[in-house]
């Protein structure tokens, strides 16, 4: 609920009753006040156990299984004046290796 001054009116318990008062100007709502909370229905959360890969696929030969497709990403693992480290993850066997060049 909003006050006539535009501020939000907050409910407080005083002497066993609920009073709605403006924190800015002190205006108080007269009459009976009933507070109700609206909440979302308790929806069931679905857990997906399948791993979803979000990195792009590039042509790179896996040193472990020889597959020619791998996921690719970069990280700055050394000083900022050094080049980024390239990481690859085989699309077939999930082996991860890095390229420092």
Catalytic residue of the set 28, 53, 82, 99: 82
SS (H, E, C) the chain: CECCCCCEEEEEEECCEEEEEECCCCCECCCCCCCCCCCCCCCCCCCCCCCCCCCCEEECCCCCCCCCEEEEEEECCCCCCCCCEEEEEECCCCCEEEECC
Residue 53 annotated to the active site: no
The predicted model gives 66-72 an average pLDDT of 94
Pick the CATH number of 57-99 from 2.20.25.10, 3.40.50.12500, 2.60.40.1170, 3.40.47.10: 2.20.25.10
Catalytic residue of the set 43, 51, 59, 81: 81
60, pLDDT greater than 80: yes
- CB-based contact 94:87 (threshold 8 Å): no
Beta bridge partners of 74: 86
Residue 68 annotated to the active site: no
> With a threshold of 0.75, does the pTM exceed it?
no
Q: 32 burial class (0-12, 13-18, 19+ CB within 10 angstroms)?
A: exposed
The confidence score (pLDDT) of residue 70 equals 95
The confidence score (pLDDT) of residue 19 equals 81
98, pLDDT greater than 80: yes
11-46: pLDDT as tens digits? 877 777 778 888 788 888 776 666 677 777 777 888
């Amino acid at each position: 609920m909003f006050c006539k001054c535009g501020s939000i009116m907050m409910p407080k318990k005083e002497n066993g009753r609920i009073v709605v008062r403006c924190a800015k100007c002190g205006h108080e709502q007269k009459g009976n006040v009933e507070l109700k909370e609206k909440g979302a229905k308790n929806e069931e959360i679905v857990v997906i156990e399948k791993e979803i890969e979000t990195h792009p696929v590039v042509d790179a030969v896996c040193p472990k299984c020889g597959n020619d497709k791998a996921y690719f990403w970069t990280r700055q693992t050394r000083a900022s004046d050094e080049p980024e480290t390239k990481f690859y993850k085989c699309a077939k066997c999930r082996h991860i290796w890095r390229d420092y060049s």
